[in-house]
Chain A
Amino acid sequence: MILRAFYKEQTYEKQVVSFKPALQNGHNAGMVKTFFVMFLLEASFIKTIIVGGGKVGQSLAQQLLLEEYDVTIVDRSSRVVEQARTTLDIIGIVGNGAAYPVLESAGAKDADLLIALTASDETNMLCCLTAHQLGAKHTIARVRSPEYYDQLFFLKECLGLSMAVNPELAAAEEITRILRFPSATKVEIFARGRVELVSYHVTESNGLCGTILSDLPHKTGIKVLICVVEHGDNVVIPSGNYRIAADDTLYFTGAPEQIVAAFRKLGLLTERVQNVLIIGGGRISYYLATQLAKDKIHVKIIEKDAARAVELASLLPKANVLQGDASNHELLMEEGLNRQDAFVALTGLDEGNILSSIYAHHLRVPKVIAKVNNDNLVSLIHDGGLESIISPKRITTSQILRFARALSAGRDREDILALYQIVGGRVEVMEFRAASAAYCDMPLKTLPIRPNILIACIVRQGKTIIPNGDDVIQQDDSVLVVTAGQRLIRLADILQGNV
């Protein structure tokens, strides 16, 4: 019995508006009613509307529901809405998310956050504009087209946008970072580039195998910290006596130059990338080629569609654009895949990307990066020997989550500055600004810090400190916290008893 959301969805659920006005009017309406409304309220949840219930919309909703958000999903397709309604604890509304009556019935008037994630940039922007006019407090639009994204800096204000997300640009930036530091499988930056999180996969023949973590500083003489170790399905925040094993993925944190130095000492540094072969000529490829061109890296792009290939060639005068089917291995060999420093698979097909990457991996291309949007596939890939996976979907989710968390931190001065999800979302790295006296100016070893939480880095006046037990957090420091399975809203949440 598949029941479509026609009845309640479009009549009664229309009237779902926030309790907040009712609460504010409570004192006129009499004690009884106020009490009644209070009783019904669990807490004042943050009202979020997601327009576009696709892959990103649903995975975002799933994340938000774990925290104190109420989610309404608007989508044109009744099937999508029905599917979201049965798998997620949300209200679904069928309709065009940029239309006034639909947004009104979704409760945009007193929504705290509206996120527009439809397939069309124009709809997303119009949707945010409409919601803003209706009274939504914050709006986020996904804008993919380079033309629109570039002009957002002067449109942002009149559209009422709080943030614009460009998944392809963000993905390209991440790939560029990896290619600049090819020893790593992934590089993330924090504290405006002062701290990097670098992941490294340990193979059997590697010298690191069998090393105990607390011995590392003696070996290298340089302070870097391994904050997370991933082994198969297990993710741990390691203690000093952890012994590194083959197939571990280590996550290093530290200042960029320190990490490079440490890698050099450990003999893990590989050569600079000079030639890159990219398959698929989509938007990520465009952004990536533009960024790599600045680093004077030679780029070769293979695109299937002739018209798009011509377009790319005119957009990217420095790149070498080829027209052809990249799933044809002969073509890849002809273009010298085995002589490339790096191979990046960015076609629209996850499976195609994975297969081509495995092929490149077998040809011993030093650095192979694949774009994979489907989470289910990601867990399978590690078995194939691929380590660097880029998921624009996950990048989008974590960018929006970071913004949403900052919203819920609300009045507090100590904002979340950044939030990154690593290891398939199982570990979160958060950057906070320290403010509270609850933890400031006390040696870390005296603080009652909850288990599975690690203070990875402190950035004070531009200097990166890898803390040990005697270090202290000071007012206005940027503090990098690594957590597994715990959700922090404020920095004070790291302390026991403060949940």
Chain B
Amino acid sequence: MNRRMIAYILGWVLIAEAMLMMPSLLIGIVYREESYRYFLLPMLLLLLLGAALVIRRPRNTAIFARDGCFIVAASWAALSIFGALPFYFSGSFQTIWDCIFEITSGFTTTGASILSDVESLPKCILFWRSFSHWVGGMGVLVFVLAIAPLAGNRSLHLLRAEVPGPVVGKLVPRVRATAKILYGVYSVLTVILIVLLRLGGMSLFDSVCHAFGAAGTGGFSVKNAGIASYDSAYIEIVLGIFMLLFGVNFNIYYCLLIRHAKEALKSEELQWYVTIVVLSTAAITINVFSLYQNFGVSLRHAFFQVSSILTTTGYATADFAQRWPAFSQHLLVMLMLIGACAGSTGGGLKISRLILLVKSFYQEIRHVISPRAVRVVRLDGAIVENETLDSTRVYFISYILIICVSTLLLSLDGFDFTTNLAAEIACFNNIGPGIGLVGPTGNYSAYSAFSKMLLSVNMLLGRLEIYPILIVFSRSAWRK
């Protein structure tokens, strides 16, 4: 394990976080709040620590898969702990555990909150909360790779540990250029969304914060009632469409950019994604029609909810946890498990993994019928290697195990089974609101400090796709 290189890259991450706090500080100054009291100290701390770590570039810059996982896990843990400091200094939160839960939920783009009255918070704190979604969505190491002078040759290990999906590829040969393209596409889409929301009558501050929430597929709102408080069909449709756009594999935008639309639209994952959205929206529209007695309104709510849940954003316009029929609730929970496309900002199991699992299931059935049949799984016309299939299956098993064990531990707090399971699923898949007591109108404040930390770890497990976090706890990884 190359400890010096891990420390070096971690140092850059800390410096990047200090830089990322800058906009929040400025927002506070613009709104005449005491933002310097919340942000200056953490920024100074981050800069000093970061500078101490990067002051000497290690001679040996080679990192391996294990180091990549360590760097990513350590960076995200550091991000969450230092990111919680402004919250703590602002005095709007009761305990440090609440602060850590809230910021982890921000960086992992979960959007689960312990706050009941967000409107009373200072604007700079609200901005930091939403901005953390935007940063966490594309990944902070991808950001660091784009700006800092890091080892180029082996940085794929970092990209791999941070960018979600069963297989991570680069767009162009250089990691650095790839990181820039990803952030470029991401920023342009975000700016378009801000402009569109502003045109829909949202205030500039609200549009920026909500655009960040949608772009990172996070889900923090700056209103107590969330998106429902605007009660505007335009805003809901714009947000619904953009959440879906951010849930698409970003490689597809790159293909469109270099005019390879045909190949981009042929992507099987994209086709499944669209199909799932259309079918679930239709099913929920019919199911909730009796509730709203209006086809347009039912469709609007159904579409927004499907888009928000499938992309793991977690914005809500309707209280599906309390008012919607069981069928719709169940369907939404299933969408939570599936999640968005690989290589997007969304969480969950990922559509491409679902495709691989369904296809290998189908192959297994075929194999039972005719035992001599050769099992071949194809994706986008290419044969999927057995190694990839195996790792996908094992991933699915670990995914289910983590949900089971965590829900068991959560149940120590004494809430009902539905609430515990929904809370676990909503945090692990980085969605935010679940059903039961943690639905769109509820929050997570009732859970004990232990459960909040457990859920925070779960959010990190979900965002970084399990292994980078688990590896830190494995003894063989620490061995020389």
Contacts and interface: CB of A to CB of B under 8 A. Distances in A.
Nearest to B169: A8
Which of B167, B352, B384 has the most CB atoms of chain A within a 10 A radius of its CB? B167
Contact of B154 (A1, A14, A86): A86
A86 B157 contact: yes
Contact of B263 (A14, A62, A87): A14
A115 B166 CA distance: 32
A89 B167 contact: no
A78 interface: yes
B185 to A, nearest CB: 9
A370 B177 CA distance: 42
B188 A36 contact: yes
Given A40-B180, A87-B154, A78 B385 contact: yes
A3 B391 contact: yes
B254 A89 contact: no
Contacts of B166: 3, 7
B385 to A, nearest CB: 4
A450 interface: no
Interface string A2-17: 1111111111111111
A71 interface: yes
A2 B166 CA distance: 10
A72 interface: yes
A7 B381 CA distance: 10
Contact of A65 (B153, B168, B379): B153
A481 to B, nearest CB: 27
B173 A71 contact: yes
Given A36-B184, A36-B188, A3 B352 contact: no
A89 B152 contact: yes
A87 B166 CA distance: 19
B258 interface: yes
Contacts of B188: 36
A90 B176 CA distance: 11
Given A11-B263, A15-B258, A91-B172, A85 B385 contact: no
Contact of B169 (A12, A41, A89): A12
A6 B383 contact: yes
A45 B174 contact: yes
Nearest to B181: A40
B101 to A, nearest CB: 29
A4 B388 contact: yes
Given A7-B382, A11-B263, A70 B167 contact: no
Interface string A63-84: 0010000111000001000000
Contact of A89 (B156, B171, B264, B379): B156
A465 interface: no
B172 A16 contact: yes
Interface residues of B, number: 47
Max chain A CB contacts within 10 Å: which of B160, B381, B382, B391? Answer: B382
Contacts of A13: 169-171
A273 to B, nearest CB: 42
Contact of B173 (A7, A19, A62, A90): A90
B447 interface: no
Given A6-B382, A6-B385, A91-B172, A11 B152 contact: no
Interface in B6-37: none
Contacts of A5: 167, 169
A452 to B, nearest CB: 18
Contacts of B181: 40
Nearest to B167: A7
A88 interface: yes
A39 B177 contact: no
Contacts of A45: 173-174
Contacts of B160: 3
A72 B169 CA distance: 13
Interface in A336-351: none
B385 A91 contact: no
A39 B180 CA distance: 9
Contact of A10 (B153, B267, B382, B387): B382
B465 to A, nearest CB: 10
B315 to A, nearest CB: 28
A87 B64 CA distance: 8
B161 to A, nearest CB: 10
A15 B251 CA distance: 10
Which one of B175, B176, B188, B258 has the greatest number of beta carbons of chain A within 10 Å? Answer: B258
Nearest to A22: B258
Contacts of B254: 12, 15
Given A11-B380, A36-B184, A6 B154 contact: no
Contacts of A65: 152-153
Nearest to B268: A11
A42 interface: yes
Contacts of A3: 160, 166-168, 387-388, 391
Nearest to B382: A10
B108 interface: no
A89 B388 contact: no
Interface in B173-216: 173-177, 180-181, 184, 188
A89 B173 contact: yes
Closest 6 A/B residue pairs (Cβ): A8-B169, A7-B167, A15-B260, A4-B385, A70-B173, A89-B152
Given A11-B381, A89-B156, 15 more contacts: A1-B467, A2-B387, A3-B166, A3-B167, A7-B167, A7-B169, A7-B380, A10-B382, A12-B254, A15-B258, A16-B172, A40-B180, A87-B153, A89-B155, A91-B172
